[in-house]
């Protein structure tokens, strides 16, 4: 007999005010940032269809999820009701893969220690523009992943995680997978007349500092909001894209995803399909911190203690292909292009229109295939687990 699932209206709640006006900042100087969300539905270019990377990342995050769930449960003396939140759940089934791992871990440990199974409140958060409807179509999938009886409630919580989302001291466990590297806004003070959507080796140091300062501000706000919502000794597991460079903060390898996107946009400018000025005014609201930057921000904010911090290889899939064959290179290029398209298309359409999207990602796939044998990469996956002090 599987777990009881109860679904509440995902659009029925209001967001509390944050320390700064997130929506206004997101849509001020770079209005396309307000369109940030993964492609909805379950069609060819949707996030649901093209999120195998995130599924692989979840597999390396699982041991830390399980460990911290067990520690949370025993340290809090087996609460009768447990509230778990996925921040940045996106659309599709991946959120339920992680949530089912946590719920199953709780139930197995309760059985092992002869404790009553708690009621579990599973909260799925993302921006209001997220396709929650597609996500909730996978409730049956979630049901089948659960291994024992109990009472489980699933709800959607639309809103920015750079604001308050939950009542004070209500959350026991939080996880976020590949979300907090997205910023609340594009940093101010970036160089004009530059045909790159993100930091490159040729960027001025001021650009790195602008991105770092925006990440510090956003991540600090994120931690402060969660510290208010989480109970003492609650746990949080965060997985994000980072970088492994410590000495040169500007360096990104030739196959970095935003370098390839810049190259693809530049191709369309050279072919007369885009104006250079449109590319100059598009920047990614993204930052890939290194380990030291993450640790420093957590220490300075002061509400959480670092429990685990791991760094893993970042792989969009093409490095696993047999790169000696051109056909495999092309296939790898298309896989990565589809993945990046699912993540960025809404912003790109908001800024450039939809006429150039197919051509843009055809170029992107070509550039990936040219770098398919690249092995020295600056991008990594960072996994950090935190304990609320």
Of 7-21, 163-177, 230-244, the one with minimum mean pLDDT is: 7-21
- The pLDDT of 41-64, averaged and rounded, is 87
- The pLDDT of 86-111, averaged and rounded, is 95
pLDDT for 104: 96
Structural domain count, the chain: 1
Give residue 326's domain range. 34-388
Name the pLDDT band for 192 (thresholds 50, 70, 90): confident
Whole-model pTM? 0.91
Answer whether residue 3 is part of any domain: no
The mean pLDDT value of the chain amounts to 89
Nearest alpha carbon to residue 66 among 93, 115, 74 = 74
Answer whether residue 196 is part of any domain: yes
pLDDT for 8: 53
Answer whether residue 25 is part of any domain: no
Answer whether residue 296 is part of any domain: yes
Name the pLDDT band for 322 (thresholds 50, 70, 90): very low
Answer whether residue 150 is part of any domain: yes
pLDDT for 331: 77
pLDDT for 28: 63
- The pLDDT of 184-204, averaged and rounded, is 89
Answer whether residue 20 is part of any domain: no
- The pLDDT of 301-314, averaged and rounded, is 95
pLDDT greater than 80 at residue 375: no
Answer whether residue 10 is part of any domain: no
Name the pLDDT band for 316 (thresholds 50, 70, 90): low
- The pLDDT of 91-114, averaged and rounded, is 95
Answer whether residue 22 is part of any domain: no
Which CATH number do you get for residue 128?
3.40.50.150
**Contact predicate 103/3, CB 8 Å:** yes
């Amino acid at each position: 007999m599987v777990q009881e699932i109860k679904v509440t209206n995902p659009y029925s709640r209001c967001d509390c005010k944050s320390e700064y006006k997130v929506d206004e900042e997101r849509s001020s100087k770079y209005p396309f940032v307000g369109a940030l969300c993964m492609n909805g539905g379950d069609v060819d270019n949707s996030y649901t269809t093209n999120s195998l990377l995130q599924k692989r990342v979840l597999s390396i995050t699982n041991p830390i999820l399980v460990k911290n769930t067990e520690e949370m449960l025993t340290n809090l003396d087996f609460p009768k009701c447990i509230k778990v939140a996925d921040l940045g759940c996106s659309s599709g089934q991946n959120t339920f893969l992680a949530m089912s791992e946590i719920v199953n871990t709780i139930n197995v440990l309760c059985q092992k220690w002869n404790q009553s199974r708690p009621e579990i409140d599973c909260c799925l958060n993302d921006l209001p523009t997220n396709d929650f409807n597609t996500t909730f179509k996978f409730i049956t999938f979630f049901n089948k992943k659960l291994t024992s009886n109990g009472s489980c409630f699933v709800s959607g919580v639309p809103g920015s995680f750079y604001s308050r989302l939950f009542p004070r001291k209500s959350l026991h466990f939080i996880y976020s997978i590949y979300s907090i590297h997205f910023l609340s806004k594009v940093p101010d003070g970036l160089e004009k007349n530059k045909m790159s959507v993100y930091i490159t080796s040729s960027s001025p140091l001021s650009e790195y500092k602008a991105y770092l300062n925006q990440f510090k501000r956003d991540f600090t706000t994120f931690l402060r909001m969660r510290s208010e919502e989480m109970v003492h000794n609650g746990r949080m597991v965060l997985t994000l894209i980072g970088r492994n460079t410590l000495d040169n903060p500007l360096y990104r390898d030739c196959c970095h995803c935003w370098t390839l996107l810049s190259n693809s946009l530049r191709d369309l400018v050279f072919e007369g399909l885009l104006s250079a000025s449109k590319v100059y005014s598009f920047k990614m609201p993204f930052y890939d911190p290194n380990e030291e930057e993450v640790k420093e921000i957590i220490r300075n904010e002061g509400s959480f203690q670092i429990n685990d911090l791991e760094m893993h290889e970042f792989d969009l899939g093409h490095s696993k292909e047999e790169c000696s064959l051109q056909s495999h290179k092309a296939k790898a290029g298309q896989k990565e292009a589809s993945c990046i398209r699912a993540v960025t298309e809404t912003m790109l359409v908001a800024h450039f229109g939809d006429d150039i999207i197919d051509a843009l990602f055809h170029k992107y796939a070509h550039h990936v295939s040219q770098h398919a044998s690249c092995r020295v990469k600056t991008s990594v996956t960072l996994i950090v687990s935190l304990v609320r002090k």
